[in-house]
Structure 1
Amino acid sequence: MTVITTMKRISGRAVRAAAALGLAGVMLTNLGAFGPSDARADDEGPIIAVSGPLSWPFFAAVKQGFDDASELFGLDYQYVAVTDTANMTSDYPRLLQQAISRNPRMLLVGEFFPDGMDPLIKEATAAGIPVLIHNSGQTLWQGNGSLGFIGEDPYQMGYKAGEIQADAGVKKGLCFNQVPGNPTVEARCTGYIDAMEQAGAETVYQTIGTGDATNPQAMMQAIKGTLQANDGIDGVYTLNAVPAISALRAVEDVGRKGEVMIGTADLSNEVLEAIKAGDIAFAMDQQPYLQGFMSIQAAYQYLNYGLHPIGQVTTGPLIIDQSNVERTLEVNKQFSGVRGAS
């Protein structure tokens, strides 16, 4: 396991200059006379973000949000993640334990694997360490003492995907989960299955080991095998951009391109180009950049003013299809990675 850490900081003068130029928009409306130079940046330990692997385009966008906001608000922070996804269920609790042992000023946590991580978050909040949950942990933050949650509503994301496919005439849909054990992605499949079954369609649920979560060939072969064993499948919903392309390759390999409707959660440039070409029908964008950016903004306002959002801040889903994919591609060409694509 390798730990990735990144630290960003700029001066309070630079942030105020950005505000004067109008670059900060509404994000600086609560700063008043205070600037980042007045922040209690050196009083205690660091702000630590325990977040997802950067080998996934999605989390590169989350990190970019963290980085941009840390520069804007003048906060030091460190981004911590695994680079080897083979043992995430055990490695993430270990990373979180290490972060807590450093007595951080604040923790920004993606609660990917609650069995190992939730007890540690409870320990941290009981010890007085403020915790804000992002991306995963929507239903858990209240019970573990966290300040709130910034991220998608995973059930609704999956449910909307199921509605789209059912409305398009899909009769038997496959939901492919590459991260079993993560309740957020599992909730997407639950929502998808519920919507499909309520519409009278059948569903198939498939998982693959997390060690293959970034292995396109392994996922392609797994989906291909399921398509061959279930020739009635006419819809596939994946939970990340990488398996979406694997699903497309699998459909092509079994000679059913154009017959199987493919939709996915999350974006990549390859997925966006496939949507533009009509090979993938849609992607559900949970706007990962906002998850990172808003987490740092909330940390700044909490540590300085005691302010924080109450409850959940929902960042998705936003549906990307042929009606708006051109604009999404344009934005990503100008601001590389912001839309969760690479």
Structure 2
Amino acid sequence: MINFQRILKGTVVAAVLLGTAVSASAANIAIVGGKADDPFFAIVKRGIDDAAKLVQARGGTVNYLALQTYDNIGPDAAQLIRTAVSQGVDGIAAPNWVPDAQDEAYKAAKAAGIPILLYNSGGTDKSKELGSINYIGTEDLVAGQAAGKYLAEHKAKNVLCVNTVPGAANLEARCKGIIDEVTKAGSKATQLPLPATSFGDKTAVSEAIKATLMKDDAIDAVVTMGNQDADSAAIAIQQANAVERVKLGSFNTDKAMLDRIKTGTQMFAVDQQGYLQGYLSVFMLASYVDYAMESPTVPILTGPAIVDSSNVEATLKGVEAGVR
């Protein structure tokens, strides 16, 4: 595992020693991201904060613009991009959750001469279309396909993909990938779309999943889109008395999820390594602004990585370090 803390400390020390030669460049960049209480984006923010120290060491700034809710995710994210443009920043990195609502805001940034970078959501094709310097994250359809293949290989016959932010392009793509692969294997998979207002409401999500499991006892696998929803699904499966028949999988990782994998009450997780998304987005955008540095690798993929009983112990070490 890469020791980012060691790299960070060494780079900051080097920046201080170089003095004015380094501080002559001063990128002022904005990073649009998820809610402060979203467990996944807490890890992304850790990566952003660590990389921000490098930017600050040479006189620049990093401003994190967070969504307040996910109820109106596309228009709200677009407004944050426009806010960054109005602030006259030197670069903007943001997920492209809802292209129809956000694309015009990206185009406005480009028209203002501000470089953009897509991360977390959007993918390579959309990045190229909008003129982004790169895309950092996972290709969500590919991530969904990886989960679907894993389920098919482990004999899941009726899969429920729970989506608590319907309309978000990345989550829709994940469910599509799951459904495509499970169906290709000759089994059944469907999406359970829940109101975006239920995101973060463990009781509402748990009750909805439990009701679905009790209504259809043929469902033998549930996949959720993130940490909190995985907790809700685990409760729902238990309350529906379906622990023996229903396999649980989820995207992202945290200690609770990994502990369930370790004890056998969750089968797998699909990790997109949010720390790397945050860290690399800041580092690459600031490096582009300051020094015109670009990566020849497009996109820069941070996943998908399947975590199950075979590698859960090593992944837990990353959680303890605050980077997974």
One-letter amino acid matched to 2:77:
Y
**How many residues are treated as equivalent by the alignment?**
312
* TM-score when normalising by structure 1: 0.86
Structure 2: segments with no counterpart, 5+ residues: 1-7
Who is 1:23 aligned against?
A: none
| In 1: Cα distance, 2:233 partner to 2:319 partner | 23
Who is 1:323 aligned against?
A: 310
Match among 182, 189, 201 for residue 175 of structure 2: 189
Whether the 8 Å CA contact 1:265–1:283 is kept in 2: the answer is yes
| In 1: Cα distance, 2:179 partner to 2:211 partner | 20
Q: Which moved more, 1:60-69 or 1:88-97?
A: 88-97
Who is 1:58 aligned against?
A: 40
Residue 193 of structure 1: CA displacement? 0.5
Matched, 1:284 2:280: no
| In 2: Cα distance, 1:201 partner to 1:97 partner | 44
Aligned-residue identity in percent:
35
One-letter amino acid matched to 2:48:
F
One-letter amino acid matched to 2:143:
M
Who is 2:166 aligned against?
A: 180
Which structure 2 residues correspond to residues 1-342 of structure 1 after superposition, within 5 A? Answer: 15=11, 17=13, 36-41=22-27, 46-73=28-55, 74=57, 75-138=60-123, 139-310=125-296, 311-333=298-320, 335-336=321-322, 338-339=323-324
Residue 16 of structure 1: CA displacement? 5.1
Q: Deviations over 1:281-317 (max 9, x none)?
A: 0111100000111111112221122122243110001
Moved over 6 A (4+): none
One-letter amino acid matched to 2:229:
P
Q: Higher helix fraction: Structure 1 or Structure 2?
A: 2
Residue 33 of structure 1: CA displacement? 11
| In 1: Cα distance, 2:221 partner to 2:250 partner | 11
Whether the 8 Å CA contact 1:110–1:134 is kept in 2: the answer is yes
Who is 1:26 aligned against?
A: none
What RMSD, in angstroms, separates the aligned Cα atoms of the two structures? 2.2
Who is 2:3 aligned against?
A: none
Whether the 8 Å CA contact 1:93–1:117 is kept in 2: the answer is yes
Aligned residue for 1:256, secondary structure, equals coil
Aligned residue for 1:257, secondary structure, equals coil
Q: Deviations over 1:239-260 (max 9, x none)?
A: 1111111111111111110211
| In 1: Cα distance, 2:290 partner to 2:225 partner | 37
Aligned residue for 1:77, secondary structure, equals strand
Whether the 8 Å CA contact 1:141–1:149 is kept in 2: the answer is yes
Residue 330 of structure 1: CA displacement? 2.3
Q: Deviations over 1:184-226 (max 9, x none)?
A: 1111111100110010001121111111111111111111111
Structure 1: segments with no counterpart, 5+ residues: 1-11, 21-31
| In 2: Cα distance, 1:34 partner to 1:295 partner | 25
| In 2: Cα distance, 1:239 partner to 1:173 partner | 14
* TM-score when normalising by structure 2: 0.90
| In 1: Cα distance, 2:92 partner to 2:307 partner | 32
One-letter amino acid matched to 1:142:
K
Whether the 8 Å CA contact 1:49–1:77 is kept in 2: the answer is yes
| In 1: Cα distance, 2:229 partner to 2:222 partner | 10
Q: Deviations over 1:128-153 (max 9, x none)?
A: 11000110111311111211110011
Whether the 8 Å CA contact 1:87–1:211 is kept in 2: the answer is no
Residue 13 of structure 1: CA displacement? 10
Residue 87 of structure 1: CA displacement? 3.0
